[in-house]
Amino acid sequence: MTSRQRQFEQRVTHHLAIIYAGILDDAQCQELAAQLLELMLKGDVVRQPTPHKSRWDERDAVLICYGDSVNKTQAHEPHTLPTEPPLYTLKQFLDTYTEGAINSVHILPFYPYSSDEGFAVMNYVQVNEALGSWQHINDISKDYRLMADLVINHCSSKSLWFSNFIANVAPGKGYFKTANISDNLEGVVRPRTSELLNKVRTAAGEQHVWCTFSHDQVDFDFANPQVLREFVAIIRFYLDNGVRLFRLDAVAFLWKVPGTSCINLPQTHEVVRLLRTLIEHVQPQAIIITETNIPNEQNLSYFGNANEAHCIYNFSLPPLLLHTLTTGDCTALKKWMMRMPPAQDGTAYFNFIASHDGIGLRPAEGLLDTVQINALVACMQRFGAKVSWRTQNDGTLAPYEINIALFDALQGAQQGPDNFAVARFLCAHAIMLALEGIPGVYIHSLTGTENDYERFNNTQHNRAINRHRWHWHDLEAKLADPHSHHQKVHRGMLNLLKIRGKQKAFHPNATQFTLHLGQEIFGFWRQSADRQQSIFCLFNISNQPQTLSLEDLNLVNTQPWCDLLSDIVYKDMSTCLSMRPYQAIWLTNTTT
């Protein structure tokens, strides 16, 4: 064993000693560490990751989509089976309609599943035959950096593992978390209203299985080291198949102890640290992203001391930005920005404002008050939204998530729909793309997709409203139609992405400061690491014209400044900017 391998094994053993304190002794931790290294290395050399090194730059942007977000069918027969594997069609969409503005893609769970559109996984190492094969996944990963879900908290009740759990045989025996009905579970934090425990008859007797999300999604018991071994093997398999970004789905709920909240427990954080150690010593360019839809301060904790997640989802951004653009008041957004710590080198925020899920409201807790949240929910319901609820510890219901397509969410302000939908939509993305962090763009934001009421009516699942499946011929026609808002959104989005990717001041870790320009103009300043480029990011977030003097920005007046979005050059610093409703300006001292 080389000295580097020995150090690697010692680090893994240290993580395991913390995770399994009181469960495994020192010798057992050492033995488990050796097994995990064998699973991960598979004969490869141990690589030494560079600490605090960013694995991204301003060119990075991630498209979020399902494997079948776009399908090719017989012309004028949209409800027939696809004529080619959807993953093959997805590659064509990426090559044809992102025009080099997107270099990474998050394909939502592409494994066989039984419910929750992929998040009740039946087999982690198979590709859903309805989508394609591992060859199609490999083909995408050759041209785009691939993000895949590690659905680590739970799997399908229809999986082989759970069938074996019921039969009390391996593999599966002892894999799932159970509890006694007499256990103290009052403090358990959950995002759903269903019963936490599901009574199941097994060969070992009647057991109550833990189900954080639904009774078809049964929670793993990571106190059983065999579960950890299974997932380490899965991680290595994903690495071998081109995955470089690992999205740890619902990881905050991973470790459970009755009598606690069963969320964000110390063992959960240590498991994230362990997985990072294992992954980056095999593939230093790989990235872990934690999906923790929880209040802001709890979410930030998953950075650790730059030793847990490389990236965290910036979950507070969507509800805050939606509140800002529907009220015309950026006060709450500014306060949040000023409280957000800069991500350390080697870590970054993952910014998004739309995804396959809805607009989460828990991340707005402490940032918006109850009146503001209720007003936002009511506004979105007027725009066609559905609302998902959660049960609080006192038994009452609280809004958990707003389910709506982002284009419809931004069709108007609190006063109602208006004629600024496209401008407001592009303004929202101009803000997101300019912020510190890596941007994630939902495929339906790239195409300006509206609420899918047919899909909702067919499934009766609230989230289906925002999970439209495009048929290639329909999408092709809409993106070619100059009168369609779909084309306006698509061209506008690509323009923003292409411009962003050329600016060093938009590096995910470039300096950021909040500007104070009143309620109606939201602004912040970005500066590149070499201090050569500054960009003043200015946004009229109201439905009324606004005026701003360049003197208020204290620009260096020895050089001209150019708006990257309009190409207008300003030489006179006494100039007043007249900003249209929802206009975005990226004002820079250098252009490339």
DSSP string, 221-257: -TTSHHHHHHHHHHHHHHHHTTEEEEEEETGGGSS--
Identify whether 535 is part of a domain.
Answer: yes
Catalytic residue among 68, 149, 249, 329: 249
What is the arithmetic mean of pLDDT over 361-368?
94
Residue 115 pLDDT greater than 80, yes or no: yes
Identify the DSSP state of 344.
P
Is 356 known to sit in a ligand binding site? yes
Identify whether 550 is part of a domain.
Answer: yes
Residue 493 pLDDT greater than 90, yes or no: yes
Identify the DSSP state of 362.
G
Is 216 known to sit in a ligand binding site? no
Q: Are strands 438-442 and 348-351 parallel, antiparallel or unpaired?
A: parallel
CB 9 within 8 A of CB 34: yes
Is 486 known to sit in a ligand binding site? no
d(CA 319, CA 401): 10
Identify whether 126 is part of a domain.
Answer: no
d(CA 470, CA 520): 36
Per the structure, the complete domain to which residue 518 belongs is given by 511-588
Residue 592 pLDDT greater than 60, yes or no: no
Q: Which residues contact 568 (CB under 8 A, 6 or more apart)?
A: 562
Residue 325 pLDDT: 98
Residue 309 pLDDT greater than 70, yes or no: yes
Is 149 known to sit in a ligand binding site? no
Query: In degrees to the nearest 10, what's the CA dihedral of 172, 173, 176, 177?
Result: -170
d(CA 541, CA 582): 5
Residue 296 pLDDT greater than 60, yes or no: yes
Residue 79 pLDDT: 67
Residue 148 pLDDT greater than 80, yes or no: yes
d(CA 389, CA 191): 8
Is 357 known to sit in a ligand binding site? yes
Identify whether 249 is part of a domain.
Answer: no
What is the arithmetic mean of pLDDT over 204-227?
97
Residue 398 pLDDT: 87
What are the pLDDT digits (tens) for 446-472?
999 999 999 999 999 999 999 999 999
319-355 burial string, b = 16+ CB within 10 Å, else e? bbbbbbbbbbbbebbbebbeebeebeebbbbbbbbbb
* Mean pLDDT, all residues of the chain: 95
d(CA 99, CA 129): 29
Residue 77 pLDDT greater than 80, yes or no: no
CB 471 within 8 A of CB 73: yes
Identify whether 251 is part of a domain.
Answer: no
Instruction: State the pLDDT confidence band at 247, using cuts at 50, 70 and 90.
Output: very high
d(CA 542, CA 521): 8
Domain count, the chain: 1
Is 249 known to sit in a ligand binding site? yes
Residue 105 pLDDT greater than 60, yes or no: yes
What are the pLDDT digits (tens) for 11-44?
999 999 999 999 999 999 999 999 999 999 988 8
Residue 434 pLDDT greater than 60, yes or no: yes
Give burial (CB, 10 Å; 0-12/13-18/19+) of 460.
Answer: exposed
Identify whether 546 is part of a domain.
Answer: yes
* Residue 512, H or E segment: strand 511-515
The CATH number of whichever domain residue 549 belongs to comes to 2.60.40.1180
Identify whether 526 is part of a domain.
Answer: yes
Residue 443 pLDDT greater than 60, yes or no: yes
What is the arithmetic mean of pLDDT over 173-198?
94
CB 225 within 8 A of CB 21: no
CB 355 within 8 A of CB 64: yes
What is the arithmetic mean of pLDDT over 373-378?
96
What is the value of pTM for the model shown? 0.96
Identify whether 3 is part of a domain.
Answer: no
Residue 73 pLDDT: 84
Is 116 known to sit in a ligand binding site? yes
Q: Identify whether 249 is a catalytic site residue.
A: yes
Is 63 known to sit in a ligand binding site? no
Instruction: State the pLDDT confidence band at 312, using cuts at 50, 70 and 90.
Output: very high
Residue 76 pLDDT: 58
